[in-house]
Amino acid sequence: MATIPSQRHLFDIPSDLTYFNCSYNAPLLKKAGDALVEGALSKCHPWERKPNDFFEDAEAFRTAASKAFGVSADNFAVTPSASYGSSTAARILEKHLSDQDEIIVLDEAFPSNYLPWQRLGQETGAKFVVLPTPEDFGWTQAVLDRITPRTKLVAIPNCHWTNGALLDLDKIAEAARSVGSYFILEVTQSLGAKPIDIAYLKPDFLISAGYKWLLSPYGLSLFYADPKWHDARPLEETWLSRADAEVFENLVQYNDQYQVGARRFEMGQKNIPSILPGGVVALEQIADWGVANIAETLEGINDSIATILEPFGFVPVPKEVRSPNILGAGLEGGIPETLLPSLAERNVYLSRRGSSLRFAPYLHVTEDDLDRLSETLKSVFH
């Protein structure tokens, strides 16, 4: 692993602005923005668009995901959102759960990793178990303690979206498999910023929105399906996912066969020229940087932020249980309602989620950004 020097030159971020809010919405690479504009303008000349153009960008996105995350491109599908992916998985699993089973999710989980599983419980009669927030950020032990022979589905993130508190996926995956439970990862807040060994963990499904740590445009997400599910029923019956779909003149000869791998789970109009080219650029750049190197760099930045925060009374999530890319910090008496607006007035941007101030920097951060944060906090608190 290696620390990556600031990549601010690749982003369109003013020098006097400090952005620590990638868990909310990551900035696009300038090169990705250019690709989006070019893709959008291609619609001005529809006569130049050939049948293969309806497929090639999606294949490039899939290939880039394979390079970045180390599993076959055939296991990835292009989806519009994390909730689409979760709903696809829930639809597949409906006939595999009963009222004798239990579904485990986390307290204050992001809605797209809560609502589809809640609905799955309602449809199947399975008990919907919401684990309460542990006081010591010990989510891993909380999950392990609740897994029983009745557990049929564990749907978790790699880290909690509100504060970056980490879960040990290796231990939880092993425990889930030991009782025959399905294992689903919603990793919107970590995929691309923290290494995840998908091949080792073997989740049934893995889901990630693209507009955060995948640096992709809004409306583009990634869905992974283990090969054992590649024959399952998709959420949507789009013609683009059927075999021989590229032969437009034969589309009225309806094909009962799907394209290979996870492509059957893709959305209709998947090859959107105004979106996908930007995602391809982003994933190729992430692969070039290396996820492990990204994680090491972000961890160093967040360590520096934690040091800056402590003199002001903030209590960060302990280093040993926090994700490298997200730093949550609480304050005795709670976060003042005026804090975020005061920071924004001084061009310092971050989020509050629940009781935590949430920092989510990226590779654009410089020493000037850290100095600006320190000086701004001094002006706000003194």
Report the pLDDT value the prediction gives residue 62, as an integer from 0 to 100: 95
What b/e string do you get for 160-195 counting C-beta neighbours within 10 Å, with b at 16 or more? bbbbbbbbebeebbebbeeeebbbbbbbbbbbbbbb
How far apart, in whole angstroms, are the C-alpha atoms of residue 105 and residue 118? Answer: 9
> Which has the closest alpha carbon to 153: 124, 133, 132?
124
Pair 85, 110: CB distance under 8 Å: no
pLDDT for residue 21 is more than 90:
yes
Structure confidence at residue 243 as a pLDDT band (50, 70, 90): confident
- Three-class DSSP category at 183: strand
- Give the length of the chain: 382
User: Other C-beta atoms within 10 Å of 259: how many?
Assistant: 18
Rounded to two decimals, what is the model's pTM?
Answer: 0.94
How far apart, in whole angstroms, are the C-alpha atoms of residue 122 and residue 116? Answer: 10
Please name the helix (run of DSSP H) or strand (run of DSSP E) that holds residue 76, with its range, or none: strand 76-79
pLDDT tens by residue, 151-194: 999 999 999 999 999 999 999 999 999 999 999 999 999 999 99
Report the pLDDT value the prediction gives residue 344, as an integer from 0 to 100: 96
Using only the alpha carbons of the chain, give its radius of gyration.
Answer: 22
Name which residue leads in pLDDT, 171 or 239: 171
Structural domains of the chain in order of their starting residue, each with its CATH number? 8-20+290-381 (3.90.1150.10), 32-288 (3.40.640.10)
Measured between alpha carbons, how far is residue 156 from residues 164, 189, 208, 359 in Å? 13, 11, 12, 21
- Three-class DSSP category at 259: coil
Residue 362 class from Cβ within 10 Å (0-12 exposed, 13-18 middle, 19+ buried)? Answer: buried
Report the pLDDT value the prediction gives residue 139, as an integer from 0 to 100: 97
Pair 332, 351: CB distance under 8 Å: no
Strands 221-225 and 76-79 come out as antiparallel
Name which residue leads in pLDDT, 131 or 354: 131
pLDDT for residue 1 is more than 80:
no
Report the pLDDT value the prediction gives residue 250, as an integer from 0 to 100: 82
How far apart, in whole angstroms, are the C-alpha atoms of residue 3 and residue 15? Answer: 22
CA angle at residue 177 from 115 to 118, to 5 degrees? 10
Structure confidence at residue 31 as a pLDDT band (50, 70, 90): very high
Of 126-130, 196-200, 271-275, 334-338, the range with the lowest mean pLDDT is: 271-275
Report the pLDDT value the prediction gives residue 370, as an integer from 0 to 100: 97
